[in-house]
Amino acid sequence: MRRTFLKTTVSFAALSFGVAALAGLGATSQPAAPTAPAAPGVKASPRNSVAADALGLTLGTQAWTFRDRTTFETIDIAAELGLTNIELFAGQSLSPEHKDVKVGPGMAKEHLDALKKKLGERKITASSFGVVGFSTKEEDARAKFEFAKAMGMGAISCEPEFEAWDMVEKLAVEYNIRLAVHNHPKPSRYWSPDIVLEHVGKRAKLIGACADTGHWPRSGLTAVEQLKKLEGRIIELHFKDVAPEPGKPREYLDRPWGTGHGDAKAMMRELVRQGFKGVVLVEYENTEGKELEENVRKCVAFFDSAAAEILKEQRK
């Protein structure tokens, strides 16, 4: 159950943990956002994000995780889970009352305002959106930047055509919005960190990586080693812990963090070693409904527990 983007499988589930809500990804930490009040029928989050806050890790979700519902419903479950940030994806229905309205560039002002109001009510920061493509058509690219600007977002996760780089870098600087280059599995454009760095390494510091830790194993790469390669250029993460599907060794599926083959705790330790301060996004691409919610809850619990352990190690 994966979405198709640029003729490849879409990115993963990245769980973010801490609550040092960062309006700009990987930017200077801001005070932790208070836990959102529970919506009718929704339990308040029992999370303790003190350790995550201390480490500078902010936990959020890629809206694609909850692709089985609308954006408004995704915002509600994010708040219930104790998450503070969300990466929106273009094309998700806005709300149960407006399923015909799709989130993304071109939204009418009334719908943009309704979306911002919903985010404010639930105290969720829309810190980015994606994953989007960029062609050489500046008009199309500018529309994506305008949407991000209107929503107050700090970043766009993307996979630009190679020929579009000069133009999109110019727009990133003009709008002061960060571009986080995402990796889909091989043979997509940016499947290897070496390719990402080849295209972003000499460009503005506004340009870096959206590290999808679940797609690297699908390309035969070890996640921790790829994070090391991207040190200093990681803007955000689609954090996943994947394992081969039984009987299908080449087909990787998301697993609750700590139960896959990605060594989730080692990945977190590496981020902390690098001094990464930013948003870790949950993007869980299989299961749905209550099962999906429970799987994400397990990821959140693992993240909080691992953060506490890592913080304790640092203070010895």
Overall domain count for the chain: 1
pLDDT (tens, 9 = 90+) of the chain, 316 residues, equals: 344 333 333 333 333 333 333 333 343 333 333 333 444 444 545 689 999 999 999 999 999 999 999 999 999 999 999 999 999 999 999 999 999 999 999 999 999 999 999 999 999 999 999 999 999 999 999 999 999 999 999 999 999 999 999 999 999 999 999 999 999 999 999 999 999 999 999 999 999 999 999 999 999 999 999 999 999 999 999 999 999 988 887 789 999 999 999 999 999 999 999 999 999 999 999 999 999 999 999 999 999 999 999 999 988 8
Helix axes 71-80, 109-121, angle to 10 degrees: 10
Q: Give me the residue label for tokens 């250029």.
A: 233
Half-sphere exposure of 294 (CA within 13 A, CB side): 4
Report d(CA 104, CA 244) in Å as an integer.
33
Region of residue 91 (phi > 0: left; psi between -120 and 50: alpha; otherwise: beta): left
- Give the pLDDT of residue 179: 98
Helix axes 289-314, 264-274, angle to 10 degrees: 50
- Measure the N-to-C terminal CA separation of the chain; round to a whole number of Å: 43
- Give the pLDDT of residue 45: 55
Report d(CA 205, CA 233) in Å as an integer.
8
Report d(CA 139, CA 158) in Å as an integer.
16
DSSP state of 171: H
Task: Report whether 86 contacts 59 (CB < 8 A).
Answer: no
Report d(CA 77, CA 81) in Å as an integer.
6
Name residue 182's beta-bridge partners. 210
- 63: domain CATH number? 3.20.20.150
Q: Residue 13 burial by CB count (10 A; 0-12/13-18/19+): exposed, middle or buried?
A: buried
Report d(CA 26, CA 85) in Å as an integer.
13
Bridge-based pairing of strands 278-282 and 57-62 is: parallel
| Length of the chain as a residue count | 316
Per-residue CA distances from 88 to 31, 75, 92 (Å): 22, 10, 8
Domain that holds residue 132: 4-314
Give pTM, 2 decimals: 0.85
